Amino acid sequence: MPLPFRQRIFVILVALTAVPTILAVVGWALAVRTVAPSAGARVALEEVAASARQMVDRVDTTHLTTRERAALREHLEQLSNSVTLARRAETYLHYYAGGFAAVVVVFGALVVIAAIRVAGHLSRQLSRPIDELVGWTRFIRRRMALPAGPPTRGAPEFEALRQALRELATALETARDRELEAERLRAFREVARRVAHEIKNPLTAMRIAVDQLRRSGGTADGRSGVAVDVMESETERLERLAKEFSEFGRLPEGPKSEVDLVDLLMDLGKTAVPPAVDVRVRANGGSSRLLGHYDPLRRAFANLLRNAAEAMGGRGAIDVGVTTEGSGLLVTIADHGPGIPDELRQRVFEPYFTTKRDGTGLGLALVRQTIEAHHGTISVAETPGGGATFSVVLAAA
């Protein structure tokens, strides 16, 4: 059974510390071997001294001169001193070797103890953050929130890795949400396309029938006239609904062209809102051109301006700003109506969600679809002083 990660690190670090200890022991052994021959030299010196004494005992010193006897005595004394010094050196080397061995053993034990403690500390410093990060990957896989408490101690690089994992988890969650939203929009578009197709067939027959009734004079009776008027207005509403369904079920197609947003918004300010609404377009002087589909963009901004005018009851001022933001264009459309409650701001772009009595819930959904088809974003916030401000960011040409 394989050892856990922490224990493997611990064993490796402890094994690495054994190398200097072994080298120290080998060095001690080599040092002992270098000083050991001194004992053999002391034994040979004692044998020489004994042989000299035996020679003196056998030699008749009476035949020697006084000078010769003095030289012989001096030689014997030097041999005796040499033997004494050799014995002392041997004793000193014996204690030295023993002391050196004790020092090596104690030092080796201290090294091993310190190595074990350091290895344990390092293994904890390495294994705990890694175990924590492995646990975080399980949280990410299960789509659970990452722990928000203080991080496990470790090297600064682990903190950078934790931050990267947090950013990765956030990006994955955002990507999942976008994918789910895109899947919902694809389903909504498919349903809208089919509904528009099913409405158009009977709607055409109904409009032809209403037109024939008017031409045949069948509306002379008051009741018949009211009925025909109701049918005509309702068929017009159904036609408008079918058109919105059809547009929502179809993404912008064809080649892109250069669109000047300032010119487009100024033109819509004269045609897309009631005369009592004043649309004030302000630009920062930079380029306001982008590559896109003119008709879908015109419908999208016209929808935003109409919504702003309706929010103000058909009178008032709408402030439109066009500014460059990095490599893109920021368009803000601010009205001064009642505004949008905080709890509804995230839902206003959902298909079929509306707060109007006769709304279809596809207007702002179509706007978002058009903006996202141009790789842009749209958001809504509160206008200072009251009202709603829609912000659109698009890539400049």
pLDDT digits (tens, 9 = 90+) for 247-267: 666 666 778 889 999 999 999
Q: Is the pLDDT of residue 243 over 60?
A: yes
Overall average pLDDT of the 379-388 stretch: 90
Structural contact between residues 354 and 360, judged by C-beta atoms closer than 8 angstroms: yes
Give the pLDDT confidence score for residue 380 in this predicted structure: 92
The proportion of the chain whose per-residue pLDDT surpasses 70, expressed as a percent, equals: 78
Overall average pLDDT of the 4-17 stretch: 69
Residue 240: is it exposed, middle or buried by C-beta count within 10 angstroms (0-12/13-18/19+)?
exposed
Pairing of strands 377-382, 388-395: antiparallel
Instruction: Determine the Cα–Cα distance for residues 78 and 53; give it in Å rounded to an integer.
Output: 12
pLDDT digits (tens, 9 = 90+) for 300-346: 899 899 989 988 888 899 999 999 877 789 999 999 988 888 888 87
Give the pLDDT confidence score for residue 278 in this predicted structure: 92
Helices (H), 59-155: 66-141
On the CB side of 171, CA atoms within 13 Å amount to 6
Instruction: Determine the Cα–Cα distance for residues 336 and 332; give it in Å rounded to an integer.
Output: 13
Residue 153: is it exposed, middle or buried by C-beta count within 10 angstroms (0-12/13-18/19+)?
exposed
Residue 108 bridge partners (DSSP): none
Please give the residue that has the higher pLDDT: either 296 or 207: 296
Give the pLDDT confidence score for residue 354 in this predicted structure: 75
Pairing of strands 257-260, 289-292: antiparallel
pLDDT digits (tens, 9 = 90+) for 133-189: 788 888 888 878 877 766 656 666 777 888 888 888 888 888 888 787 777 777 777
Instruction: Determine the Cα–Cα distance for residues 3 and 11; give it in Å rounded to an integer.
Output: 10
Location of structure tokens 């509160």: 382
- Token pair listed for 214: 């008017």
3-state secondary structure 366-391: HHHHHHHHCCCEEEEEECCCCCEEEE
